[in-house]
């Protein structure tokens, strides 16, 4: 390795001494990485270190000087002038500091501010040194710094040293070394006692014993592990079942017509996104169409009732949760050559409602949303002819045997009435008052488990809390106004609808009447058919006119 010049190397006119050979290891720490060879520039506190070869150990910062010190006469004039200028800039140490403290005599022992470190007065060396310099120096017994002869340089093997090379005293990294006598250094090395093997040196490092918590029983935690393992197995099965259910819900039956002469291509696929069929996501269909060099397809649209061209990437909306059908053909194949098209179209028509143009509708039926039939019956309903056998009271309420609110009755239909016909009534309230009277009379006294009793009273009708309580209040107001029985006896006619009852209740409330006014004096009107046939009970006409009689009484009181 070529020698390296320092930052301020000697001038070119002065030849440096011959570079020494590289040593095997550091004399201090025995590190094989001894550092690179450098030439001192003489910018420290010792001028004679100029043009002197040295190495710095990267492990312990030990300076290994190789060649003898440079005589002052051999140092160029400009170097000496520069050294003098640098020494003049150093601030002198105060007298008080020189008298009260002892500084370390090692010239390379400096602080961060380029000031000498303080020495330990109890150091056994002469002169005293600091702790760092005492440990790096020759092996001298020093109790203050814990240095003993067996831990110094004399304990190094002799194979790592060259007796012909003089080892100078340890110096600092910035060339602030002191010129020492080589003979004294050799004397220190040769006279130092050889290390004696310690009886404890061959003993192995003591093993640190550590203790950890152990369960009291061997089967501790086994139940938890088994339960956790079973839980993971169940979770995997549930996840797999959900995945399969999702695939079944998103299953789509595809019918593909490729040419006139070939039959249609049947295949069932599963959509990646629910409700959206994308042909490009299914490799089987793409491979079939690629053989015919097809870039566009025609998909039959149920809304437009015609074939529509589109690309492979465009999604096709399909129903979710049932077996959806998608009809596809190659452009150019006529509908007449699509064998089985009519059958597939019939299957698709069963799964969805076809739109009919508005010009084909009957103009007289455009405003009607649905037809009503006289044979339409619902739960708790009875025909108008059978109303006399139900046994209505004076106030219009139908009394049935009471049931506990916590348990549903075994049968809510009277024994003399047949069960209602199967009717697809899915909305609440029912259309007619006669169908609403009996189940609402039962639900009027229910306070607990209302949805359960509602399902028994109104079969196949979804329970909506706000709607139920709204119409129950209307039913209670109608009972308080004593008009519920008159509307129920009208039967399934426009005047007997539940909406007509709601409209009548609102009219009575707009006149300022309250349902609590049922105890007000009632002005009875004579019946056109003569005296009552059932004792002192008023007729339905008298009960229907009663609220207006109350209103007339209030007006007379104001006059």
Q: What is the pLDDT of residues 102-143, one digit of tens each?
A: 888 777 788 877 888 888 888 888 788 888 888 887 777 887
Integer angstrom CA distances of residue 463 from 148, 167, 427, 474: 97, 105, 10, 17
Q: Find the distance separating the first CA and the last CA of the chain, reported in whole Å.
A: 131
> Pick from 447, 433, 426, 401: which is nearest to 498 by CA?
433
Tell me the mean pLDDT in the region 198-202.
45
> Pick from 374, 351, 379: which is nearest to 440 by CA?
379
**Domain 244-356 falls under CATH 3.30.420:** no
Is pLDDT at 216 greater than 50 in this prediction? yes
Q: Is the pTM of this model over 0.75?
A: no
Distance from the Cα of residue 73 to its chain's centroid: 82
Confidence at residue 235, expressed as pLDDT on a 0 to 100 scale: 94
Confidence at residue 254, expressed as pLDDT on a 0 to 100 scale: 92
Listed in sequence order, the residues at least 6 apart from 314 whose beta carbon sits closer than 8 Å to its beta carbon are 278
Q: What is the pLDDT of residues 508-549, one digit of tens each?
A: 888 766 555 444 433 343 333 343 333 444 444 444 444 444
Confidence at residue 240, expressed as pLDDT on a 0 to 100 scale: 93
Confidence at residue 90, expressed as pLDDT on a 0 to 100 scale: 61
User: Can you tell me which residue has the tokens 């009519």?
Assistant: 342
> Pick from 167, 11, 32: which is nearest to 77 by CA?
11
User: Can you tell me which residue has the tokens 């005296």?
Assistant: 531
Which residues of the chain does CATH 3.10.20 include?
244-356
SS3 207: coil
Confidence at residue 292, expressed as pLDDT on a 0 to 100 scale: 85
Q: What is the pLDDT of residues 375-425, one digit of tens each?
A: 333 444 443 343 333 333 333 443 433 333 334 444 444 444 444 444 454
What contacts 24+ positions apart, CB below 8 Å, involve 137-146? 137/169, 137/170, 138/188, 138/189, 138/192, 139/192, 144/120, 145/120
Confidence at residue 114, expressed as pLDDT on a 0 to 100 scale: 80
Confidence at residue 242, expressed as pLDDT on a 0 to 100 scale: 92
Give the residue with greater pLDDT, 169 vs 430: 430
pLDDT above 70 coverage of the chain, percent:
59
Tell me the mean pLDDT in the region 493-517.
81
Give the residue with greater pLDDT, 258 vs 14: 258
Give the residue with greater pLDDT, 537 vs 53: 53
Tell me the mean pLDDT in the region 302-315.
90
Average pLDDT, the chain: 69
Give the residue with greater pLDDT, 27 vs 249: 249
Is pLDDT at 219 greater than 80 in this prediction? yes
**What is the spatial distance between Cα 401 and Cα 226, in angstroms, rounded to a whole number?**
56
Tell me the mean pLDDT in the region 277-298.
90
In degrees, rounded to 5, the angle at the alpha carbon of residue 416 between the alpha carbons of residues 411 and 420 is 60
């Amino acid at each position: 390795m070529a020698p390296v010049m320092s930052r301020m190397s000697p001038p070119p006119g002065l030849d440096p001494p011959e570079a020494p050979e590289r040593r095997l290891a550091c004399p201090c720490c025995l590190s094989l990485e001894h550092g690179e060879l450098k030439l001192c520039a003489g910018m420290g506190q010792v001028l004679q270190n100029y043009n002197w070869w040295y190495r710095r150990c990267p492990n312990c910062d030990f300076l290994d000087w190789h060649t003898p010190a440079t005589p002052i006469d051999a140092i160029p004039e400009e170097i000496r002038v520069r050294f003098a200028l640098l020494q003049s800039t150093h601030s002198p140490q105060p007298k008080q500091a020189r008298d009260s403290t002892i500084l370390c005599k090692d010239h390379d022992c400096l602080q961060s501010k380029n000031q000498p470190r303080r020495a330990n007065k109890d150091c056994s060396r002469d002169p005293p040194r600091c702790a760092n310099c005492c440990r790096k120096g020759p092996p001298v017994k020093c109790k203050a710094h814990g240095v003993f002869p067996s831990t110094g340089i004399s304990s190094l093997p002799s194979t790592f040293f060259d007796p012909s090379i003089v080892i100078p005293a340890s110096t600092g990294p910035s060339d602030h070394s002191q010129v020492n006598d080589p003979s004294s250094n050799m004397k220190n090395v040769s006279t130092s006692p050889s290390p004696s093997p310690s009886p404890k040196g061959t003993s192995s490092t003591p093993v640190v014993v550590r203790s950890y918590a152990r369960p009291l029983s061997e089967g501790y935690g086994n139940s938890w592990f088994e339960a956790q393992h079973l839980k993971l197995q169940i979770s995997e099965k549930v996840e797999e079942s959900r995945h399969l259910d999702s695939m079944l819900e998103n299953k789509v039956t595809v019918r593909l017509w490729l040419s006139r002469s070939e039959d249609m291509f049947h295949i069932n696929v599963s959509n990646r996104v629910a409700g959206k069929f994308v042909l490009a996501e299914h490799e089987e269909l793409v491979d079939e169409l690629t053989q015919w060099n097809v870039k566009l397809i025609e998909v039959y649209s149920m809304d437009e009732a015609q074939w529509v061209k589109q690309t492979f990437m465009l999604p096709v909306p399909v129903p979710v949760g049932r077996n959806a059908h998608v009809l596809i053909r190659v452009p150019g194949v006529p509908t007449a050559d699509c064998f089985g098209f009519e059958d597939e179209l019939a299957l698709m028509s069963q799964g969805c409602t076809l739109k009919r143009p508005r010009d084909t509708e009957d103009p007289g039926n455009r405003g009607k949303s649905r037809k009503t039939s006289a044979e339409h019956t619902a739960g708790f309903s009875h025909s108008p002819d059978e109303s006399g056998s139900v046994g209505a009271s004076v106030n219009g309420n139908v009394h049935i045997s009471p049931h506990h609110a916590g348990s549903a009755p075994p049968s809510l239909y009277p024994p003399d009435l047949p069960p209602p016909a199967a009717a697809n009534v899915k909305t609440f309230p029912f259309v007619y008052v006669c169908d609403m009277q009996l189940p609402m009379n039962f639900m009027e006294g229910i306070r607990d488990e209302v949805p359960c009793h509602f399902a028994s009273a109104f079969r196949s009708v979804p329970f909506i809390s706000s709607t139920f309580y709204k119409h129950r209040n209307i039913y209670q107001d109608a009972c308080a106004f004593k008009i519920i029985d008159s509307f129920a006896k009208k039967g399934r006619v426009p005047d007997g609808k539940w909406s007509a009852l709601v409209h009548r209740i609102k009219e009575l409330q707009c006149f300022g009447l309250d349902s609590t006014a049922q105890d007000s004096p009632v002005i009875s009107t004579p019946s056109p058919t003569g005296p009552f046939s059932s004792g002192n009970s008023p007729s339905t006409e008298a009960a229907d006119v009663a609220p207006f009689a109350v209103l007339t009484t209030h007006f007379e009181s104001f006059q």
